[in-house]
């Protein structure tokens, strides 16, 4: 006897798992089923592999098909336990449906029968009409051959039905044509993968004995989501198409014996209806299948691996073990959801039905926001937001950036090191002395140094450059000296990298502040309120502050780009003397034929009075040469005294500016945001529903 749902077949699926599924049914009844994955059977395979026939044989659900029309959307059969018989057909829009009107149109598709038995409904033309209407609603017709990621859901409720889901997926195909596009191929693969990756799904991987198994890729796809084949049951269909004694028959016998591809759930073989006998009853189909497996080599297989009756029993046991194994994880998922929702509820706060409620809500956020900001400014990390010792051991980026004062201090240190190493455009090397060794790759791995390349210039080469400039820049200075403006020009040339390094540092500091603010909002508000506050209030203020910050940077570096050195105090003079001494010592060592950077035990050597006199005389230069060397001495001295006053202070001033002058205004203005929202011209950016 044929009917939409064969009671005997579904009783076999119900058996021992009934008690567990009853609990799952209770969870689904209170809406938990929309939050966690519940057991289902997924039937998947290549086109014309016999997937739908397998589903039909398991469930005894006879749905209308055409022999030349492959399934072009997922059909989900939801079998539910209820006191009365009910059949409902609906559509769940797929992920590709971004248009709201399309979503509403699909969601509005629904048909429900309460007074018609499943057998009557199955034999009527109404079921076929519903399927055709569903295809049309999805935009599919007999003319086009596209696929849809929408899901046709058929819910069957009755007093004897278990809580179970059977899903028939569109068939996979591997070559495109005018009727089957590359886009459709990709869509079917994504749809299949979406169901396979659900860890609580049993995958029935269907392959047909009619085709070469190498051309059926379903097992490879399943392995991506279930590497050990723990929840894959292989189904071989159409065994009657392989000639008795042929190599093809032997190949698929080896599959069923788990010798070709080893599955932990094993293999099963079914003989489905042929095209000629497509209209025979379910009982007749089962009888023909039983007779087939009692003959030839198929008779050598275990009776637990052949036929639909054995599959129902086997599937029932597999589901029971699968559910039992996944039940602890299911409980943990539910507990995690409860904790997550409780946390979200706390963030939502009290109901905010009125404008006054909304203001009060923002005042509460602003007060906590201000407290956290002040603690971050002062480095006193006492609020729970900053985490404790255990979170510090975890060493996550989020924990690190919450402690903003520590972040800014580390950025300052990186900036100071970058200025010390890469702040000067060229490093001056005395003639005859070795160039100091530098690990370029190591230096480039440090912040602000990713594109740094050391550049060296010999003292003599630089003197020649300055001499040429001095000749072109002569003014009213006395003979033996040069235009004093050359010192400033040379200094500006040397400190050229300062601005680029400073800009990178300021940007890093600002981005750290921005990320910190986002973390505070994430901690204090929910996922809906946070982007609203940041997009309409905090974000624009931070952007204004960034513009102001770079304006201040431009002011701070403008003097090094155009000003004239005006050193004050004895420090500069001592630095000039030091630079001059270093230069003269280096020249003396060279003139005496010594190598190395310093005198020492290894460099002991005796010199005559004439040697010393000759070496000393070579230190004397023409007036122009002496002047150029002095310009270099003065530039180096000014560079050194400018390092703490210009660069070092830039570090403290710029980062403190980005640190305090960005965050302090935010903390002080936050209490006034509710008024700003309510009374300013921009108050309409929030609606009561949004807050």
Taking residues 433-441, what's their average pLDDT? Answer: 73
Domain co-membership, 256 together with 366: no
* pLDDT tens column, 501-510: 888 888 888 8
Taking residues 113-123, what's their average pLDDT? Answer: 59
> Is the pLDDT assigned to residue 511 strictly greater than 70?
yes
* pLDDT tens column, 300-341: 898 999 998 888 888 877 877 887 887 888 888 888 888 888
| Local confidence band at 2 (pLDDT 50, 70, 90 cut-offs) | very low
Domain co-membership, 598 together with 665: yes
Domain co-membership, 233 together with 370: no
**pLDDT of res. 610:** 60
> Is the pLDDT assigned to residue 205 strictly greater than 90?
yes
| Local confidence band at 14 (pLDDT 50, 70, 90 cut-offs) | low
Domain co-membership, 283 together with 385: no
Boundary of a domain, candidates 334, 368, 388: 334
The closest of 193, 206, 157 to 74, measured between CA atoms, is 193
Residue 345 inside a domain? The answer is: no
* pLDDT tens column, 216-270: 889 989 999 999 999 999 999 989 888 887 888 888 899 999 998 999 999 999 9
**pLDDT of res. 323:** 79
DSSP string, 325-379: HHHHHHHHHHHHHHHHHHHHHHHH-S---SHHHHHHHHHHHHHHHHHHHHHHHHT
Domain co-membership, 326 together with 365: no
Domain co-membership, 390 together with 276: no
**pLDDT of res. 305:** 92
Residue 341 inside a domain? The answer is: no
8 A C-beta contact, residue 143 and residue 137: no
Domain co-membership, 162 together with 79: yes
> Is the pLDDT assigned to residue 450 strictly greater than 60?
yes
How big, in percent rounded to 5, are the helix, strand and coil portions of the chain? 60, 10, 30
Residue 625 inside a domain? The answer is: yes
Residue 33 inside a domain? The answer is: yes
| Local confidence band at 643 (pLDDT 50, 70, 90 cut-offs) | low
DSSP string, 605-665: ----HHHHHHHHHTT---HHHHHHHHHHHHHHHHHHHHIIIIIIHHHHHHHHHHHHHHHHH
CATH of the domain at 216: 3.40.50.300
User: Any idea which of 162-171, 400-409, 473-482 has the lowest mean pLDDT?
Assistant: 473-482
Residue 79 inside a domain? The answer is: yes
Based on the structure, what is the number of domains in the chain? 2
Taking residues 665-669, what's their average pLDDT? Answer: 56
Domain co-membership, 432 together with 310: no
> Is the pLDDT assigned to residue 203 strictly greater than 90?
yes
Start-end of H helices in 231-301? 247-256, 282-292
Question: What is the rounded CA–CA span in Å between residue 110 and residue 377?
Answer: 59
Question: What is the rounded CA–CA span in Å between residue 678 and residue 690?
Answer: 14
Residue 691 inside a domain? The answer is: no
pTM of the model: 0.52
**pLDDT of res. 30:** 63
Q: What residues does 164 pair with on adjacent strands?
A: 79
**pLDDT of res. 684:** 37
Domain co-membership, 373 together with 234: no
Question: What is the rounded CA–CA span in Å between residue 376 and residue 370?
Answer: 10
* pLDDT tens column, 95-110: 778 788 888 888 888 8
- Compute CA distances 100 → 74, 105, 138, 246, 322, whole Å: 21, 9, 14, 56, 38
**pLDDT of res. 400:** 84
Biggest alpha carbon distance in the chain? 127
CB atoms within 10 A of CB 677: 21
Domain co-membership, 186 together with 92: yes
Residue 518 inside a domain? The answer is: yes
Taking residues 165-175, what's their average pLDDT? Answer: 81
* pLDDT tens column, 343-364: 777 777 677 777 777 777 777 7
Domain range for residue 296? Answer: 7-334
**pLDDT of res. 569:** 60
Residues in the chain: 691
Who has greater pLDDT, 286 or 147? 286
Taking residues 271-277, what's their average pLDDT? Answer: 81
**pLDDT of res. 688:** 41
Residue 85 inside a domain? The answer is: yes
Domain co-membership, 308 together with 372: no
Domain co-membership, 318 together with 369: no
């Amino acid at each position: 006897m044929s009917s939409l749902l064969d009671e005997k077949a579904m009783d076999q699926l119900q058996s021992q798992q009934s008690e567990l599924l009853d609990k799952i049914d209770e969870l689904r009844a209170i809406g938990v089923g929309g939050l966690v994955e519940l057991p289902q059977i997924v039937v998947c395979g290549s086109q014309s592999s016999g997937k739908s026939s397998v589903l039909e044989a398991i469930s005894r659900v006879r749905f209308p098909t055409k022999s030349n029309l492959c399934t072009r959307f997922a059909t989900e059969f939801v079998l539910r336990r209820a006191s009365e018989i009910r059949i409902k057909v609906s559509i769940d829009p797929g992920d590709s449906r971004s248009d709201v009107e399309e979503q509403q149109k699909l969601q509005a598709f629904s048909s429900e029968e309460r007074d018609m038995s499943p057998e009557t409904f199955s034999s009527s033309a109404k079921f076929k009409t519903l399927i055709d209407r569903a295809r049309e609603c999805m935009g599919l017709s007999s003319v086009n051959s596209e696929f849809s990621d929408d899901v046709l859901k058929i819910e069957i409720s009755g007093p004897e039905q278990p809580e179970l889901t059977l899903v028939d997926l569109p068939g996979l195909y591997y070559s495109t044509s005018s009727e089957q596009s590359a886009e459709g191929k990709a869509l079917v693969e994504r749809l299949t993968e979406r169901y396979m990756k659900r860890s609580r799904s049993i995958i029935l991987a269907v392959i047909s004995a009619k085709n070469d198994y190498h051309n059926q890729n379903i097992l490879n796809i399943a392995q991506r989501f279930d590497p050990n084949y723990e929840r894959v049951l292989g189904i071989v269909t159409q065994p009657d198409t392989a000639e008795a004694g042929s190599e093809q028959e032997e190949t698929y016998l080896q599959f069923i014996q788990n010798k070709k591809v080893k599955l932990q759930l094993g293999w099963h073989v079914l003989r489905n209806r042929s095209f000629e006998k497509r209209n025979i009853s379910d009982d007749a189909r089962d009888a023909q299948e039983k007779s087939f497996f009692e003959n030839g080599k198929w008779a050598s297989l275990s009776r637990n691996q052949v036929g639909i009756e054995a599959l129902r029993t086997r599937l029932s046991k597999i589901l029971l073990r699968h559910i039992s194994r996944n039940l602890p994880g299911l409980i943990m998922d539910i507990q995690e959801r409860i904790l997550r929702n409780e946390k979200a509820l706390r963030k939502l706060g009290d109901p905010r039905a009125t404008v006054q409620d909304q203001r009060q809500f923002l005042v509460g956020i602003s007060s906590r926001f201000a407290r956290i900001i002040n603690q971050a400014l002062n480095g006193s990390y006492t609020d729970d937001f900053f985490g404790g010792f255990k979170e510090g051991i975890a060493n996550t980026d989020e924990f690190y950036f919450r402690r903003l004062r520590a972040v800014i201090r580390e950025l300052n240190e990186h900036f100071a090191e970058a200025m010390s190493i890469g702040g000067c455009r060229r490093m001056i090397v005395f003639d005859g002395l070795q160039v100091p060794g530098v690990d370029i790759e190591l230096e480039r791995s440090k912040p602000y140094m990713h594109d740094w390349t050391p550049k060296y210039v010999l003292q003599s080469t630089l003197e020649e450059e300055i001499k040429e400039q001095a000749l072109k820049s002569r003014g009213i200075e006395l003979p033996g000296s040069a235009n004093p403006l050359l010192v400033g020009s040379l200094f500006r040339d040397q400190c050229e990298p300062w601005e680029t390094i400073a800009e990178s540092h300021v940007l890093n500091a600002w981005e750290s502040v921005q990320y910190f603010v986002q973390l505070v909002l994430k901690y204090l508000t929910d996922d809906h309120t946070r982007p609203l506050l940041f997009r309409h209030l905090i974000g624009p203020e931070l952007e204004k502050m960034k513009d102001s910050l770079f304006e201040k940077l431009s002011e701070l570096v403008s003097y090094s780009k155009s000003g004239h050195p005006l050193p004050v105090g004895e420090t500069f003079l001592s630095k000039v003397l030091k630079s001059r001494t270093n230069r003269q010592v280096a020249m003396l060592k060279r003139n005496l034929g010594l190598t190395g950077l310093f005198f020492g035990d290894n460099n002991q050597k005796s010199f005559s009075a004439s040697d010393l006199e000759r070496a000393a005389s070579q230190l004397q230069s023409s007036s122009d040469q002496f002047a150029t060397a002095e310009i270099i001495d003065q530039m180096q001295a000014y560079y050194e005294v400018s390092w703490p006053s210009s660069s070092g202070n830039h570090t403290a001033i710029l980062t403190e500016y980005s640190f305090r002058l960005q965050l302090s205004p935010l903390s002080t203005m936050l209490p006034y945001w509710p008024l700003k929202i309510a009374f300013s011209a921009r108050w309409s950016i929030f609606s009561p529903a949004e807050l």
